[in-house]
Amino acid sequence: MSRIMDPATEADERRVPAPGADGDGPVLALRDAAVRVGGRTLWSGVNLRVDAGEFTAVLGPNGVGKSTLVKLVLGTVPAAAGDVRVLGKPPGRANHRIGYMPQRRAFDTSMRLRGTDVVRMGLDGDHWGVPLPFPGPRRRAARARVEEVIELVGASAYAHRPIGQCSGGEQQRLLIAQALVRRPRLLLLDEPLDSLDLSHQGDVAALTGRICHREGVAVVMVAHDVNPILHHLDKVVYLAGGGSATGTPEEVITSATLTRLYGTRVEVLRASDGQLVVVGRPETTGGGHAAG
C-alpha cells in the first residue's frame, strides 16, 4: 500500500512538454520522495513534476501530510528518501523565489495594520532596520510594486483598510498578493480556500488560475475539496494511505485509483456540471480540522 503509481501518471509525466525553452528545468521535481515525521512514514514514493505556469493541487484526507509536502518543498522538513529539487536546487535554497502562504486562521479583527502593510512585508519584511521616511527611487519602486500586485489580485478597494476588518476572502486575496509581490516562480498555497464561503472559494480559485496561467507562475495548492479549483487544474497529487497518485484530475480522481489508494471501495461520481463527488472515502465521514 505504500507505493501506488498510476500507470497513466507515468505516461503523463512523459507527455509534459520539455519545460522552459530557456533551459530552466522544472520548477519543482519530486522523485520517489518520502517523509517521516516522528518516526512514522507519512507518505512515500511521491513523484511529481511541476513546470512554469502549471496549476497543481495536493489532495487527500486530513492528517495525510499535505502541508508536510509544502514544508518539504520549503526545506523545513527533510526528505526521508528520494530526491527533491526546487528550481534545480535542494529544498530551502531557493525560498526567495517561492511565494508561500501558510495555512491560517483569519487575522484578528483588532489587527490594526493595513492590507498594504501586510503585502509590503512580503516584499522587504525580512530586511533589517526601519524603512526611512524619506522619498527616494527605491521607496517609490517598492510602493509601485505593492500597488501593482494589489491591483493584480483585485484588492485595491480595501487594501487601505485595517486587515482585521476585511472579510475572509479579502484577506486571502491580500495574502496572495503578499506571496506574489516578489515575483516568485513558485507559489505554495496551503488551504487558501479553507474557511471561505462557496462564492469566495470560486473567486480565489479563479484568481489563482489566472495568475498561474497568465503570469507563468507554477502553483501548488493544498486543497480539501477539489471542486472549486477543478476547472483550473493541470495536475493533481492525491495522497492517501501512505501512497500517492499523480496525474491530470481526470486520471487521478477516478473510482479505480482512489479505491486502490484508500484500500476500501471508493466511488467517484461526476455531476452534469463536471463537479466530482467522491463517495465512501474516510474523510467524508470523519471531518475535523486537522490539516494534512
Partner 1 sequence: MTTDLLASSPLSQPFFQHALLAGTPIAAACGLVGYFLVLRAQVFTADALSHVAFTGAMAALAFGCDLRLGLLVATVAIALLFGTLGRRARPDDVVIGSVFSWVLGLGAFFVSLYTTSRSTADGTAGVSVLFGSVFGISAGRATAAAWLAAGICLVMLIVARPLLFATVDEATAAARGVPVRLLGYGFLAAAGLSAAEATQAVGSLLLLGLLAAPAGAAIRLTDRPYRALALSAGLAVAETWAGLFASYAVPKMPPSFAIMAAATAVYAVTFLIRRPAATRPRIRTPAPARS
Q: Residue 82 or residue 168: which is nearer to partner 1 going by CB?
A: 168
Q: How far is the CB of 288 from partner 1 (least distance, A)?
A: 7
Residue whose entry in the numeric block shows the C-alpha cell 499535505: 66
How many helices, marked H, and strands, marked E, lie in the chain? 9, 11
Q: How far is the CB of 207 from partner 1 (least distance, A)?
A: 19
Q: Residue 51 or residue 190: which is nearer to partner 1 going by CB?
A: 190
Q: Residue 78 or residue 286: which is nearer to partner 1 going by CB?
A: 286
- By the criterion CB under 8 A, which residues form the site for partner 1? 74, 76, 95-96, 98, 100-102, 104, 109, 111-114, 117-118, 121-122, 124-131, 133, 161-162, 164-165, 167-168, 178-179, 195-198, 224, 284, 286-289
Q: How far is the CB of 156 from partner 1 (least distance, A)?
A: 15
Task: Please give the torsion angle defined by the CA atoms of residues 229, 205, 48 and 3, in that order, rounded to the nearest 10 degrees.
Answer: -40
Q: Residue 11 or residue 90: which is nearer to partner 1 going by CB?
A: 90
DSSP 204-265: HHHHHHHHHHHH--EEEEE-S-SGGGGGG-SEEEEEETTEEEEE-HHHHSSHHHHHHHHSS-
Q: How far is the CB of 127 from partner 1 (least distance, A)?
A: 6
Q: How far is the CB of 195 from partner 1 (least distance, A)?
A: 4
| CB proximity list for 149: less than 8 A, separation 6 or greater | 119, 177, 180, 181
Of 218, 210, 189, the C-alpha closest to 50 is 218
Task: Supply 75's cell numbers.
Answer: 526545506
Q: Residue 2 or residue 167: which is nearer to partner 1 going by CB?
A: 167
Report the b/e string of 154-171 with b at 16+ CB within 10 A.
Answer: ebeebbeebbebbebbbb
Between CA 25 and CA 19 the distance in angstroms is 6
Q: Residue 197 or residue 250: which is nearer to partner 1 going by CB?
A: 197
Q: How far is the CB of 126 from partner 1 (least distance, A)?
A: 5
